[in-house]
Amino acid sequence: MTDFLEIRKQFPILDQEVHGHRLVYFDSSATAQKPQCVIDAESEFYETINAGVHRGAHELASRSTVAFEQARAKVAKLVGAGYEEGGEEVVVTAGATAGLNLLATAIGNASLGRGGEAAKRFAVGPGDEIVVSKAEHHSVLLPFQELALRTGATLKWFDLTDDGRVRSDTANEVITERTKVVAVTHISNVTGAITDIAPIVKRAHEVGAIFILDACQSVPHLKIDFHAMDVDFAAWSAHKMYGPTGVGFLYGKRELLEALPPASFGGSMVELAWMDKPAQYMAPPERFEAGTQPVAQVVAAGVAADWMRGIGMENLMAHERTITDELLKIGEVPGFRIIGPADAKDRVGTVSFDVDGVHPHDVGQFFDAQGIAVRVGHHCAQPVHRHFGLFASTRASTGIYNTVDEAKQVVDVAAKVRPFFEV
């Protein structure tokens, strides 16, 4: 049996007090804390290797390249992406936002005729449709909204149920023969609801559209297999899966990555360059990795991926379900309304709530004064808040290090908020 109290001890940042209270961290949807092995991996890289990848003939450069590519393979294993069979399908990015912008920019380049015959499958223009949902993080909504504006395509979206779930049941109506791109979140960073993506993927492929998944909130919490899910592309961040900041990953089916034109240009992504004709670019994933890579962070992210797989995603999921059950009791506190599904079915432990009569920032500061770190604001997802008639909320989100007692503490503190503010 997995001992999660022992796992918790691997996180040195949690061994401190905040405002005279033992730190309780419930902001993992924003960024997860790092186990000591991840911290050590990044530090050790700087101490022993620290060289660029895919360039240089000296020993450190060689060791750096090996470590970088081994880390890529570890991350690929975590999400069921091809690597060892010779079809590299994971691109290193600066984060999920960078990966999604990469796709929107590359599709825009294809729409301008870049990339040759193979890239025409990505082209969008007037009369075409791009589909998102009201649940999207701005990192999904804005890049594809801008792509629609640049190309003359029409932006459409899935509506939400009363409790904030993406209306997957309307896939046949929302996605039409004119749809070229569908970009949808796997798990909302506000409601915690898991999107039933199967009917959306199926319909997208029926009409020949590209399906893009925002996997930021699912890779840290669910067992993921992108091949089995049949998604075309997926983006996520290392810092939410217990890895370092400043790095993320973009999964793409190999044949699609090979057809997609580059989005950024510079060193390491070009095979041949001339003054008088267009350059010849590298094969994926290098084609999409211009410039100097965050090698230390990628190596540490590989350690994080291995660490998660060592614990077992099924074990992690079961542990977090227990915490979520307790955390959802916050909806029973008078004056508190959960923003999203009120039970633990098909959701993760991202629990946003509105407090009648108290501003979310005041709620967050009250929790902070008790040593509990929660998130306040619109969480970079304004349309889903408007769906609930709100502009902002307070959010408590679970990680592998949280305990049932901590969740009970959150509910206990919640009960004191409105009396403190004399509401």
3-class state of residue 324 by DSSP? helix
In which element (H, E) is residue 327 found?
A: helix 313-327
Distance CA 205, CA 125 (A): 19
Instruction: Supply 102's token pair.
Output: 């990469």
Catalytic residue among 369, 380, 404, 415: 380
Counts for the chain of helices (H) and strands (E), in that order: 14, 17
C-alpha distance from residue 77 to each of 25, 50, 68 (Å): 28, 25, 15
Distance CA 97, CA 212 (A): 13
Distance CA 47, CA 45 (A): 5
Distance CA 374, CA 364 (A): 6
- Degrees, nearest 5: CA angle 362-342-314: 105
Distance CA 255, CA 258 (A): 5
C-alpha distance from residue 295 to each of 86, 99, 230, 339 (Å): 21, 17, 29, 39
Q: Is 216 one of the catalytic residues? A: no
Please choose, from the candidates 99, 24, 95, 85, the residue with its C-alpha nearest in 3D space to the C-alpha of residue 264.
Answer: 99
Name beta bridge partners: 373. Answer: 25
- 297's CB contacts (< 8 A; 6+ apart) are 42, 238, 243, 244, 245, 246, 247
10 Å CB burial of residue 46 (0-12, 13-18, 19+) is exposed
Chain centroid to Cα 341, Å, comes to: 20
Residues annotated as catalytic (active site), given as ranges:
380
